Amino acid sequence: MPEQHTTPQNSSVLVEIKDLRTYFFLAEGVVRAVDGVNLTVNRGVTMGIVGESGCGKSITAYSILRLVSPPGKIVGGDIFFYKVPKDGSSSQAEVINLAKVDPNGETIRNIRGNYISIVFQEPMTAMSPVRTVGQQIMEAIILHQKVDKKTAREMTIDILARVRMSNPERVVDEYPFQLSGGMRQRAVIAMALSCRPQLLIADEPTTALDVTTEAQILKLMRELQEELGMGIMYITHNLGVIAEMAQEVAVMYLGRVVEKTDVKELFFHPLHPYTQALLTSIPQLRDALTRQEKSRLNVIKGMVPDPYARLKGCPFHPRCPVMISGVCDEVEVPEIEAAPGHMVRCHLYTSH
């Protein structure tokens, strides 16, 4: 049974993640892929999640939909989903703790593809090559909207047209390998949006595409968000895309959110040394051209530590330029509200 949540219900909150821990139990040791993440996604708002590869951003997203399969396991925390019935029978949200439901059960299957959808990184492998685009989209429509095949087909053509697919009547009967990468990602987005979800998780949806196509897809997602009023959780390592898409941003490092604020604040007043380092390691086209000598790009020193190791104190301390000896490598860092709406997890802003 979905667990009832006691905090006062804020109608704009869509998903509230509290102290989420998703670990992978491998023969070599335990990988704490997500290690105490706190995050809130609001309705109609895009929350960007940035971080290096392996920081746990995708696993956080997978955990919401309970798509983490063994040896991965959610070992702690809560994921509250505020489910407002789609039929308009009630404006009161039902609160479901997704971290506690059966990952193969009825509850989560009714939410997947229906209330919460996901678009993955690789459009090339997101669809089965042996079934038509239409078959793969219709499936979700028939499942969640209880319509017959003919209606589902019409709805599929309609949603394909909505993602600006040229010739949707033809594409519906085509196989994924007959479409280009950009068109395929449009089809995948159409599939995710086919049941008008309240939350769309986009896991680096444009990483595999060229920049022109990327710009089109980003524009499309913004338009569709306006149309459908859904919340978006946009996962990327590309800060340029974040600036383009997100209103709120969470920066992740080694399974934790280290800084969380609105997008302007993040770009103009980054507080965490990791965020600051990330921002200075973006190549600037103009700088590179105007500078006489080719200068090297700023890099964050060191490497992401061994995933099996568990670091004491702040996980960023071995790479941090302003590390406070005896504090950062010893004391666990709490989340601090450094400014209104600006959360940071760094000892520079604590009284140690």
Partner 1 sequence: MVNYILMRLLRMIPQVLIISVLAFIIIQLPPGDFLTERLNRLRASGYTVDEAEVQRLTKMYGLDKPMHLQYLKWITNIVTKGDFGYSFVFSKPVNEIIGSRMGMTFFIAFLAFVVCWSFAIPVGILVAVKQYSVVDYFFTFLGFIGLAVPGFLLALVLMYVSYSWFGLKVGGLFSQEFQTAPWSWARFVDFLKHIWLPVIILAIGGTANLIRTLRATMLDELRKQYVTVARAKGLSEFKVLMLYPVRIAINPIVSTFGWLLVWFFSGGTVVEIVLNLDTAGPVLWRALMNQDMYTAGAYIVIIGTLTALGSLISDLMLAALDPRIRFGGLEVS
DSSP reduced 3-state for 307: coil
Q: Which of 53, 91, 104, 295 binds partner 1 (CB under 8 A)?
A: 104
Strand partners, 336: 344
Neighbour-count burial of 272, counting CB atoms closer than 10 A to its CB (0-12 exposed, 13-18 middle, 19+ buried): buried
Strands 231-236 and 199-203, sheet pairing: parallel
The nearest distance, CB 250 to partner 1, in angstroms, is 22
Give 217 or 271: the residue with its C-beta nearer to partner 1: 217
- 71 versus 326: smaller Cβ distance to partner 1: 71
Q: Which of residues 65-84 bind partner 1 (CB under 8 A)?
A: 65, 67
Interaction of residue 97 with partner 1, rule CB under 8 A = no
Of 143, 161, 243, 336, the one binding partner 1 by CB under 8 A: 143
Helix (H, G, I), strand (E, B) or coil at 98: helix
User: Is position 120 an interface residue for partner 1 (rule: CB under 8 A)?
Assistant: yes
Amino acid at 271: L
Is residue 144 near partner 1 by the rule CB under 8 A?
A: yes
Q: By CB under 8 A, what part of segment 41-70 binds partner 1?
A: 65, 67
Choosing from 73, 86, 100, 109, the residue that interacts with partner 1 (CB under 8 A) is 109
Of 171-179, 204-212, 273-281, 300-308, the segment contacting partner 1 by CB under 8 A is: 171-179
Shortest distance (Å) from residue 245 CB to partner 1: 21
Report DSSP letters for 220-255, one per residue: HHHHHHHHHT-EEEEEES-HHHHHHH-SEEEEEETT
147 binds partner 1 (CB under 8 A): no
Q: What are the contacts of 142-148 at 24+ separation with CB within 8 A?
A: 143/113, 144/110, 144/113, 144/114, 144/195, 145/195
| 31 close to 23: Cβ distance less than 8 angstroms | yes
End-to-end CA distance of the chain: 42
Which of 9, 29, 102, 129 touches partner 1 by CB under 8 A? 129
* Contact (CB, 8 A) for 124 and 42: no
**Could you tell me the smallest distance in angstroms from the CB atom of residue 206 to partner 1?**
16
> Minimum CB separation from partner 1 for residue 301, in Å?
34
Given a contact cutoff of 8 angstroms between Cβ atoms, the answer to whether 201 and 120 are in contact is no
Rounded Cα distance between 22 and 26, Å, is: 13
Query: Going residue by residue from 180 to 199, which x/- string records binding to partner 1, judged by CB under 8 A?
Result: --------x--x--------
| Separation between Cα atoms, residue 342 and residue 340, nearest integer Å | 5
Distance (Å, whole) CA 209 – CA 39: 28
- Contact with partner 1 (CB under 8 A): which of 40, 114, 156, 198? 114
Binding residues with partner 1: total (CB under 8 A) = 30
Q: Rule CB under 8 A: choose which of 27, 130, 299, 303 binds partner 1.
A: 130
In the set 110, 151, 238, 247, which binds partner 1 (CB under 8 A)? 110
Q: Is 17 in the site for partner 1 (CB under 8 A)?
A: no
The yes or no reply on residue 139 touching partner 1 (CB under 8 A) is: yes
Chain residues that interact with partner 1, rule: CB under 8 A: 65, 67, 104, 109-114, 117-118, 120, 122, 125-132, 139-140, 143-144, 175, 177-178, 188, 191
